[in-house]
Structure 1
Amino acid sequence: MTATTTTTGPEPSASPDLSKPVGDPPLLEVRNLTVTYGGTVPAVRGVDLRVEAGQKLGIAGESGCGKSTLALALLRLLPATAKLTGEILLDGEDVLTMKWGRLRAVRWAGASIVFQGAMHSLNAVHRVGDQIAEPILLHNAKATPAAARRRAGELLEQVGLPAARAQAYPHELSGGQRQRVMIAMALACDPRLIIADEPTTALDVMIQAQILRLIEQLVADQDVGLIMISHDLAVLADTCDRLSVMYAGRVVEEGPARQVYAEARHPYGRALSTAFPRIGDPASRRAPRGLPGDPPDPAALPGGCTFHPRCPVALDSCATEDQELREAGGERRAACVLVDAPAADDSRSTS
């Protein structure tokens, strides 16, 4: 049953096909999710996702494609002006129909989020140890303040920081250290799902690599599900099992992460892939190439396929006929009329 609600709070893997339910219910299943701002502006349009325990799903796309809106929608963290429809099934329970008390219990304990920009997500006037301890005290009635502080120290050590750093204020930590604090906070109540929204934004490449390896190790050790959001296909291909590419609020391609990165079937996926250098790949000697134009304004989406004004291989029909996700081989799906044809020549797809 589809629910409607308005928010109330501020190498290819052997993973199962996310588009086809198999075996036990998944950890997270999103069905036909839409998010509309102000009643008229569609930020997310009919998104379907599936995440199993221990699985890492990457979501990629340019700024403005709806990635962060999707992440916040999963725990109903959007402003009250956002209208959500569809289903968000977390362990089989629809987040969109939860009463406020139940939703409050699910946040942090059932699923947690690592927000984009740790400096702006942490409270500048409270020590980081107290901020990590706060969700523990809120979700565990038996926890004492002393026990919560000890647990905060253990979590800091788990993410590679000394327990003594619990006494620090956010401004006393580096960018990488603050991001580790955010990850420790996300783990505080042992959630089954972690949503990481651009967790390496503004970090240098060395710290970025450390944070990504840390997240991978924590997911493997604790058997939690992970949704990682980024504009960088290379990072997601290296970190995640599967990958969904978003454009104008919709998923336009999905499949095993390394396959999508190496041989995207949608022209937008190919453009994203070639926008980043492939260091150490002797077969790739060209400089990265950008994609002309900008993502469309959600309030004035073009007709037909929303990507056709920027698409180098668009047909005349693309201006009038929208495309749904269709089978693209190798557990992949893509929303392109040319998906059944051989992959477009790389020079055409990015010129």
Structure 2
Amino acid sequence: MTATTTTTGPEPSASPDLSKPVGDPPLLEVRNLTVTYGGTVPAVRGADLMVEAGQKLGIAGESGCGKSTLALALLRLLPATAKLTGEILLDGEDVLTMKWGRLRAVRWAGASIVFQGAMHSLNAVHRVGDQIAEPILLHNAKATPAAARRRAGELLEQVGLPAARAQAYPHELSGGQRQRVMIAMALACDPRLIIADEPTTALDVMIQAQILRLIEQLVADQDVGLIMISHDLAVLADTCDRLSVMYAGRVVEEGPARQVYAEARHPYGRALSAAFPRIGDLASRRAPRGLPGDPPDPAALPGGCTFHPRCPVALDSCATEDQELREAGGERRAACVLVDTPATDDSRNTA
């Protein structure tokens, strides 16, 4: 694999998976993952994530918070200047300790990525059908070119495109069609985990909705795990089961997606949520509110809680004391000293 570099409601209760043997590892477990560029610039700082088969995890945050770096790190697709530490356990096997041959076998077949920006990820001088067939030929020694091309046509039909579009070049397709090709390619080797990095970037609202519903349906039909990355909390709340919010390379809040969107416990999560309008919210006609300032430069992070220079409720201690994730009620955790203080409607919209 290569890469060119709103609705709220009651949270559905998850029924236990009785078919899964006790003691089986989760599909993906990330433990204390750190990514550092050039030996000094931390892009991801101690991230912990977990995804079960059939589960959809959303990762949200502004540009520059480390979302895409985290996604690429999961399959070691970062440049050689990046140093990775921690553990990335895919079906219990650590991706960071895999030999090159094993890692090559895991990419596409164990986990695959729908890269951000389909036009830049597809090869402009090759037909899309050939690009979908390539990983099939690489990972299945018994596959013939003819069989791989037939499978490419089937995959295109699976994502809502005619099989005949396999003969098209990327520039002959619309943005939504190219994104469907990327999803078909991600499904080519029947992976157990799909990582979708901003899968609806630069698409209009109607096409975005179609792509999101397509991804949801494919995840449900094939019982694969999904990590969806976006800056849009409303999209993630409507699509995913759980949500992790990142800021300055760290996860600062996590929990059931709709709960995090509706009542975030970390001030940054509340600010992101307040930036999106609530359609049909007759009780509150507030306009969306922006968050002043910009995410910090990873090479010059502020002391204490990295969000405190932008935080509307920061205490004096926040400038000197960093905050780890702590229990925030139910299945939720947040990295804030005020996490024990119930969030009011006013505080949720302060930012």
| TM-score bucket of the superposed structures, by smaller chain | over 0.9
Kindly indicate whether the alpha-carbon contact (under 8 Å) linking 1:256 and 1:331 is maintained by their aligned counterparts in 2.
yes
- TM-score under structure 1 normalisation? 0.94
Kindly indicate whether the alpha-carbon contact (under 8 Å) linking 2:59 and 2:67 is maintained by their aligned counterparts in 1.
yes
Distance 1:9 1:314, change over 3 A: closer
| Structure 1 counterpart of 2:235 | 235
User: How many residue pairs get matched?
Assistant: 351
For residues 206 and 276 of structure 2, the distance between their equivalents in structure 1, rounded to whole angstroms, comes to 17
CA shift digits 1:95-130 (9 cap, x unpaired): 000000000000000000000000000000000000
The structural deviation recorded for 1:152 is 0.1
The structural deviation recorded for 1:342 is 1.5
| Structure 2 counterpart of 1:154 | 154
The structural deviation recorded for 1:278 is 1.5
Distance 1:15 1:38, change over 3 A: farther
Kindly indicate whether the alpha-carbon contact (under 8 Å) linking 1:5 and 1:85 is maintained by their aligned counterparts in 2.
no
| Structure 2 counterpart of 1:336 | 336
The structural deviation recorded for 1:277 is 1.1
The structural deviation recorded for 1:73 is 0.1
Distance 1:15 1:121, change over 3 A: farther
CA shift digits 1:60-81 (9 cap, x unpaired): 0000000000000000000000
Kindly indicate whether the alpha-carbon contact (under 8 Å) linking 1:30 and 1:87 is maintained by their aligned counterparts in 2.
yes
The structural deviation recorded for 1:55 is 0.1
SS in 1 for 2:215: helix
Distance 1:34 1:106, change over 3 A: same
The gaps in structure 2 that reach 5 residues or longer are none
Distance 1:227 1:169, change over 3 A: same
For residues 73 and 8 of structure 2, the distance between their equivalents in structure 1, rounded to whole angstroms, comes to 11
For residues 17 and 49 of structure 2, the distance between their equivalents in structure 1, rounded to whole angstroms, comes to 11
Distance 1:281 1:9, change over 3 A: closer
Distance 1:13 1:299, change over 3 A: farther
The structural deviation recorded for 1:284 is 3.4
For residues 33 and 10 of structure 2, the distance between their equivalents in structure 1, rounded to whole angstroms, comes to 19
- Larger deviation: 9-18 or 323-332? 9-18
For residues 116 and 34 of structure 2, the distance between their equivalents in structure 1, rounded to whole angstroms, comes to 22
| Structure 2 counterpart of 1:317 | 317
Kindly indicate whether the alpha-carbon contact (under 8 Å) linking 2:128 and 2:169 is maintained by their aligned counterparts in 1.
yes
The structural deviation recorded for 1:285 is 1.3
Distance 1:347 1:253, change over 3 A: closer
RMSD: 6.1
For residues 156 and 8 of structure 1, the distance between their equivalents in structure 2, rounded to whole angstroms, comes to 33
Kindly indicate whether the alpha-carbon contact (under 8 Å) linking 2:7 and 2:237 is maintained by their aligned counterparts in 1.
no
For residues 109 and 2 of structure 2, the distance between their equivalents in structure 1, rounded to whole angstroms, comes to 25
For residues 125 and 268 of structure 1, the distance between their equivalents in structure 2, rounded to whole angstroms, comes to 43
Kindly indicate whether the alpha-carbon contact (under 8 Å) linking 1:3 and 1:97 is maintained by their aligned counterparts in 2.
no
| Structure 2 counterpart of 1:60 | 60
- TM-score under structure 2 normalisation? 0.94
For residues 213 and 62 of structure 2, the distance between their equivalents in structure 1, rounded to whole angstroms, comes to 24
Distance 1:120 1:6, change over 3 A: farther
The structural deviation recorded for 1:5 is 20
Distance 1:288 1:49, change over 3 A: same
Distance 1:337 1:8, change over 3 A: closer
CA shift digits 1:194-222 (9 cap, x unpaired): 00000000000000000000000000000
